[in-house]
Chain A
């Protein structure tokens, strides 16, 4: 990141935060700054849900100011924050005509694949949308991070080949770096040890615990 750029981001971030805390968030003359902030999120790979929702809200209030490119960026950025449900939150603010926009339908289709954890198909389909997606710096890795999260909560041991495919058939070196990043372990038999799940996933016996707080209302 170039020095001047970082300063611009920090300044804008402070300003946007001030807007968000007051009624300035509904002021359409701040829209240019909000939009610039979205563009910076795209090029410099950071993320601010609250600011992005405020942009969509301004479009909702002032449809004549609607910018399809910015909305695409916001929706794609929302996908990078999976497993959080940001994409749904953003989509709920779109209007009827926008829902039928082809790019938005396409992004929604990709989002659906991710939500269904059909990762193999996602990587195949994604390859067709490169013009839309390449602008989002760090997009693929954010998605891989989400996939690793799902693997992490599901598996104790996973087949190396399966994992590689889930992550988009990445080269071995890259696979190794994801394994290291997640503190997973390669085992000699072509398996990868994720984490011990026995303690995390176990049969629960719910017996009642009555806290003092619950009883205090009748004391």
Chain B
């Protein structure tokens, strides 16, 4: 245990990127012994449990496929065989923790251990122990260590899906630990252990990994070149040319978007994407879960920035993309549930945005919102029901975290929900400021010109208050909207609202929006569907 003692565990004032840091974990294989063994539950016996031959065969197969860089076989084993075996043999049990008698390769064992822990988190949360959390962290350190400290790019081929899920899971486990750390479930031993090892799953260590992967891969330079239609060979460098490093770099950017969002830093969240063109179908990402995650967090950040037009565009694009790929997208990964949930969340947030900022959207997406489930929510929100806004927010928002343990920011241990509470309060204050606008809008819609006095009679308010209300309407409907360029932060002020007006002396002049029927989207979608059908038919063997 002593080799994990670190004097500078907080690393509060040190540079983040520091090769030495990774070196700390190089001193011995972690998997041989659970390094946190100082409490209650005894470590499971290593060899008493006999698992079926199929499992051993699978592990050896996977090792061989990776050695042979056989991506088709890796994909098959990882995305189909592994979930299948899990279903058959490990519904209620952990995968074997020690496979050193089957494969001796250090890197492979680390990759396998990542799957092993991921399975516990996903399928056996009730048996997820404190030591599992710590050991999984140290396994990640070991894995990233092997990747980042190697003097030359390591020779490893994995599918993009797999790489994405490693990074995604890494952030998920960080999030899970941050919440766990603030929960009252901890016993005293665990508390004191964490106090002495505060670097475990600390926000700094997570940022450290993500920034290092981004830096190592030169991914930002590569993306810039890609945006300018230039070859990235000149800027990628030795590591960035390797697909492994390049994709880990790309996924780390998306992971940063997520981490910053969870911390409430929406500006930085969108800023880290400044070299990714969200409006282009990017060749960088053929992993649907990654695309959806990107849109989900960007959309949410836009909502919090009061950039509703941008949020609506982002959600709509994402949901259209979902509709398109649904047929091809098979239920073959752990993340399918997550993707479905995020889709629901995006529809909910889209509904919120459209109540606050009505505008016409793609008809097929609109059709879903007309569905009873959403239509009722929308009607309640339009009627100014703050509780409905709150429910929608709570359902659709990301997980929020505090980056420090409770003891540091003075919150009582039971206040695990504080970060969520803060973000929710801020959002609801914004909504409360706009709560009368739908009413104003509904009156404005009735006329093309209307004296102020008449409108104030409708609104049952005096002229001064109404004046403020109308100024507020214009102010809130006038938002920054992205127009061009690679950075999603850029934009200019635009009035995008469906109903607009201006005041000339005592008269309100109203301009409505009339939307003609749209055909283009419909035809393009049909062409896509036919195209996919055609392709599917062609691949059939008769």
- Chain B residues with CB under 8 Å of A171's CB are none
Q: Is the CB of A89 within 8 A of B267?
A: yes
Q: Is the CB of B13 within 8 A of A27?
A: yes
Q: Is the CB of B265 within 8 A of A53?
A: yes
- Chain B residues with CB under 8 Å of A29's CB are 13
Q: Of A24, A91, A162, which one neighbours B426 at CB under 8 angstroms? A: A91
Q: Is the CB of B15 within 8 A of A83?
A: no
> Any chain B CB within 8 A of the CB of A214?
yes
> Any chain A CB within 8 A of the CB of B518?
yes
Q: Return B228 CB to nearest CB of chain A, in Å.
A: 17
> Any chain B CB within 8 A of the CB of A28?
yes
Q: Is the CB of A206 within 8 A of B207?
A: no
Q: Of B16, B423, B503, B528, which one neighbours A155 at CB under 8 angstroms? A: B503
What mask results when residues 292 to 313 of chain B are scored 1 for a CB within 8 Å of chain A, else 0? 0000000000001110000000
- Chain B residues with CB under 8 Å of A64's CB are 408
Chain B minimum-CB-distance residue to A152: B474
Chain B minimum-CB-distance residue to A191: B505
- Chain A residues with CB under 8 Å of B360's CB are 206
Q: Is the CB of A218 within 8 A of B527?
A: yes
> Any chain B CB within 8 A of the CB of A207?
yes
Chain A minimum-CB-distance residue to B477: A153
A9-17, A40-48, A110-118, A137-145: which lies at the B interface? Answer: A110-118
- Chain B residues with CB under 8 Å of A124's CB are none
> Any chain B CB within 8 A of the CB of A95?
yes
CA distance A88 to B306 in the complex (A): 9
B-facing residues in A170-219 (Cβ within 8 Å): 191, 197-198, 200-208, 210, 214-215, 217-218
Q: Is the CB of A203 within 8 A of B404?
A: no
CA distance A157 to B471 in the complex (A): 14
> Any chain B CB within 8 A of the CB of A8?
no
CA distance A153 to B471 in the complex (A): 9
Q: Return A44 CB to nearest CB of chain B, in Å.
A: 23
> Any chain A CB within 8 A of the CB of B116?
no
Q: Is the CB of A214 within 8 A of B268?
A: no
Chain B minimum-CB-distance residue to A155: B503
Q: Is the CB of A150 within 8 A of B475?
A: yes
With A112-B429, A201-B509, A208-B516 as known contacts, state yes or no: A49 contacts B267, CB within 8 Å: yes
> Any chain A CB within 8 A of the CB of B511?
yes
Chain A minimum-CB-distance residue to B512: A203
> Any chain B CB within 8 A of the CB of A23?
yes
- Chain B residues with CB under 8 Å of A61's CB are 203-204, 403-404
With A27-B13, A208-B518 as known contacts, state yes or no: A57 contacts B211, CB within 8 Å: no
With A61-B404, A92-B304, A153-B495 as known contacts, state yes or no: A162 contacts B265, CB within 8 Å: no
Q: How many residues of B contact A (CB 8 A)?
A: 76
> Any chain A CB within 8 A of the CB of B480?
yes
- Chain A residues with CB under 8 Å of B315's CB are none
Q: Is the CB of B513 within 8 A of A203?
A: yes
Q: Return B461 CB to nearest CB of chain A, in Å.
A: 13
Q: Is the CB of B415 within 8 A of A96?
A: yes
B-facing residues in A117-133 (Cβ within 8 Å): 117-120
What mask results when residues 62 to 91 of chain A are scored 1 for a CB within 8 Å of chain B, else 0? 111000000000000000000111001101
CA distance A205 to B360 in the complex (A): 12
> Any chain A CB within 8 A of the CB of B514?
yes
> Any chain B CB within 8 A of the CB of A104?
no
> Any chain A CB within 8 A of the CB of B520?
yes
> Any chain B CB within 8 A of the CB of A156?
yes
- Chain A residues with CB under 8 Å of B327's CB are none
Q: Is the CB of B511 within 8 A of A204?
A: yes
Interface centre among B204, B207, B415, B429, by most chain A C-beta atoms within 10 angstroms, is B429
Q: Is the CB of B472 within 8 A of A57?
A: no
Q: Is the CB of A208 within 8 A of B519?
A: yes
> Any chain A CB within 8 A of the CB of B531?
yes
Q: Return B477 CB to nearest CB of chain A, in Å.
A: 9
A-facing residues in B495-525 (Cβ within 8 Å): 495, 500-505, 509, 511-520, 524
- Chain B residues with CB under 8 Å of A88's CB are 304-306, 426, 430
CA distance A78 to B306 in the complex (A): 15
- Chain B residues with CB under 8 Å of A162's CB are 467
Chain B minimum-CB-distance residue to A50: B267
Q: Of A99, A153, A197, A210, which one neighbours B504 at CB under 8 angstroms? A: A197
Q: Is the CB of B503 within 8 A of A154?
A: yes
> Any chain A CB within 8 A of the CB of B402?
yes
> Any chain A CB within 8 A of the CB of B39?
no
The 3 closest A-B pairs by CB, nearest first: A197-B502, A117-B471, A23-B16
Listed A/B pairs (25) with beta-carbon separation below 8 Å: A26-B16, A27-B15, A28-B12, A28-B13, A63-B408, A88-B426, A88-B430, A89-B267, A89-B305, A92-B422, A96-B410, A99-B425, A112-B433, A117-B475, A119-B468, A153-B474, A155-B503, A162-B467, A191-B505, A201-B495, A204-B512, A206-B513, A206-B514, A208-B516, A210-B520
Q: Name 8 extra pairs, CB < 8 A, besides A26-B204, A157-B505.
A: A24-B15, A83-B478, A92-B422, A94-B422, A153-B475, A205-B513, A206-B513, A208-B518
